[in-house]
Amino acid sequence: MSTFPPPLSGSAQDETAELRPRFDESGLIAAIAQDAVTGEVLMLAWMNAEALQKTIETGRATYWSRSRGEIWIKGETSGHIQEVTEIRVDCDQDAVLLKVRQTGGACHTHRESCFYRRVDGGALSFPGEAD
Amino acid sequence: MSTFPPPLSGSAQDETAELRPRFDESGLIAAIAQDAVTGEVLMLAWMNAEALQKTIETGRATYWSRSRGEIWIKGETSGHIQEVTEIRVDCDQDAVLLKVRQTGGACHTHRESCFYRRVDGGALSFPGEAD
């Protein structure tokens, strides 16, 4: 298990050149995966400190599965891996953005992106999919 | 306060054409804002049911401020509003993706995006900013 230094206060956290992730009360940070080529947002998942450290070290997107309660190397069973080309962190360091080269579909439904439905009022549509 | 129907089980939730957001134990859902023109990921914030409903109804990105404990119409004080051109929801409906026309910087630091720092090992760099 890796450790990171704790977050700083106020604007110091926004401007520091040190990685000081702000994990939530469950020890997790939100991670957005974006296709490095197309810019499409592929998925939102979660990382604990170990998953973040492994992602940085290995260049393979590694998350924390909240449902299974375990480290999850994306694509380890499906083959739909994410090769990380860049990691960004947001102002207060409670979210990371991964730019990835995605093999296969990012979504467990085998679609390219998890965001395959559009909200039209209270209903959802499936743009680009046949009826 | 608006209400949405509850999430469905398993793959029914992935395939339903009804908006059935899965709020967490704090009543919140993650919301990613992406620039509708450039594709740049601008920020990650949170919505409760009321914020999501207002965003759908008004076309103005409206979040829940966890620090202030209140509804937050983005740009209401700064003028840096987000006009929502499309809302997407992910497979299990615990995250939404807003495509927005952003006025001014999305970040409270006045930068375009909150993701202005790149993770290089344990250090952060500020790409595109002068030293």
Per-residue pLDDT of B34-49, as tens digits, reads 999 999 999 999 999 9
Other beta carbons less than 10 A from residue B39's beta carbon:
14
Tell me the pTM: 0.96
Query: Would you say residue B2 has pLDDT above 80?
Result: no
- What distance in Å separates the CA atoms of residue B122 and residue A5, rounded to the nearest whole number? 10
CB atoms A30 and B44 under 8 Å: yes
ipTM of the predicted assembly exceeds 0.90: yes
Torsion angle in degrees (nearest 10) through CA of A103, A45, B70, B17? 60
Tell me the nearest-neighbour CA distance from B119 into chain A, angstroms. 5
Q: Confirm if A62 and A54 have CB atoms less than 8 A apart.
A: yes
Residue A55 clears pLDDT 90, i.e. is over it: yes
A97 contacts on B by Cβ (under 8 Å): 41, 115
- CA distance to partner chain B, nearest, from residue A7 (Å): 14
Mean pLDDT lowest among A47-56, B91-100, B122-131: B122-131
The whole-number pLDDT of residue B13 equals: 97
Q: What is the predicted pLDDT for the residue at A130? A: 74
Report phi then psi at A120, rounded to 5.
Answer: -120, 90
What is the per-residue pLDDT for B30? 98
Q: To the nearest whole percent, how much of chain A has pLDDT over 90?
A: 92
Confidence at residue B40, expressed as pLDDT on a 0 to 100 scale: 98
What pLDDT is recorded for position B121?
85
Q: How many CB atoms lie within 10 A of CB A122?
A: 13
Of the candidates A14, A38, A107, which has its C-beta nearest B91's C-beta? Answer: A107
A90 is in an annotated binding site: yes
Specify burial of residue A8 (Cβ count, 10 A radius: 0-12, 13-18, 19+).
middle
pLDDT digits (tens, 9 = 90+) for B62-87: 999 998 999 999 999 999 999 999 99
Q: Are B19 and A123 inside 8 Å of each other by CB?
A: yes
The reply to whether A24 sits in an annotated binding site is no
Give residue A2's pLDDT: 62
Nearest to B109 among A91, A96, A109 (CB): A91
Structure-model confidence comparison of residues A4 and A3, the more confident one? A4
**CA distances (Å), B109 to each of A2, A91, A105, B112, B124, in order?**
29, 8, 35, 9, 16
Q: What is the mean pLDDT of chain A?
A: 95
**Averaged pLDDT of chain B:** 95
Q: Which helix (H) or strand (E) holds B32?
A: strand B29-35
The chain B residues in contact with chain A (CB within 8 A) are 4, 11, 14-19, 30, 32, 34, 38-41, 43-44, 56, 86-91, 94-97, 107-109, 111, 114-119, 121-126
Name the residue in chain B with its Cα closest to that of A122.
Answer: B19
Of the CA atoms within 13 Å of residue B111, those in its CB half-sphere come to 18
CATH fit for domain B10-125, picks 2.40.30.10, 3.10.20.810, 3.30.830.10, 3.30.70.380: 3.10.20.810
**Considering only A47-51, A52-56, B12-16, B127-131, which range has the smallest mean pLDDT?**
B127-131
CA distance A121 to chain B (A): 6
B83-108: per-residue pLDDT in tens?
A: 999 999 999 999 999 999 999 999 99
- The annotation status of A92 as a binding-site residue, yes or no, is yes
